[in-house]
Amino acid sequence: MMNRPLTGIGATYGHNKLLADSYRRWTGRDLVQAAEHRGGMSLEEQLFTAPRVILSHGTENDPVLNYGNRLALELWEMDWEQLTGTPSRLTAEPMERAERDQFFTQVTANGYVDNYTGIRISSSGRRFYIVKATVWNLVDEQGVYRGQAATFLNYEYI
């Protein structure tokens, strides 16, 4: 699917480490298995090829997606450049955006939320439920808020 290297914030080791470390900090769980259990793959490879959807957005006034792994790209039917240039709110239909915004306010206040289910829409207009997603704040080692991320294993087309 990818013919050239991924570029931008989400493609860096630092961002991938932020995703994994923040997930562990909030949930007490690992986002991916340790490298020694994945054939020595780099963290970037582990997250990009993980058997779960992983995506994140930044801290802009209208947060823009800055990472999506292989499964996220496939589900939202976008390539890397499209996804990482998309405002996060556009992954939901207009009628779902107010609910989505309220939910992300809860995540900001609480650090993370498990078991979120909501309707999303791909670039072609295909609608799907994300089921039992975990959404968490991205906070670096200095305690600076860097955005939010989500992961989920299950989704259902509607």
User: Taking Cα atoms as reference points, which of 47, 81, 52 lies closest to residue 64?
Assistant: 81
* Rounded Cα distance, 17 and 45, in Å: 12
Contact indicator for 51, 97 with CB cutoff of 8 Å = no
Q: Does domain 9-157 have CATH number 3.90.1150.10?
A: no
126-157 per-residue burial string, b: 16 or more CB within 10 A, e: under 16? eebebeebbbbbbbeeeeeebbbbbbbeebee
Is the model's pLDDT at 1 over the cut of 50? no
Is the model's pLDDT at 36 over the cut of 50? no
Q: With residue 139 as reference, give the H or E element that holds it.
A: strand 127-139
Is the model's pLDDT at 101 over the cut of 90? no
Token pair belonging to 153? 């294993």
- Mind listing the pLDDT tens digit for each residue in 38-69? 567 889 999 999 999 999 999 999 999 999 99
> Using DSSP, how many helices (H) and how many strands (E) does the chain show?
5, 6
Q: What is the pTM of this model?
A: 0.87
Q: What is the pLDDT of residue 24?
A: 96
Confidence tier at 14 by pLDDT (50, 70, 90): very high
Burial of 98 (0-12, 13-18, 19+ CB in 10 A): exposed
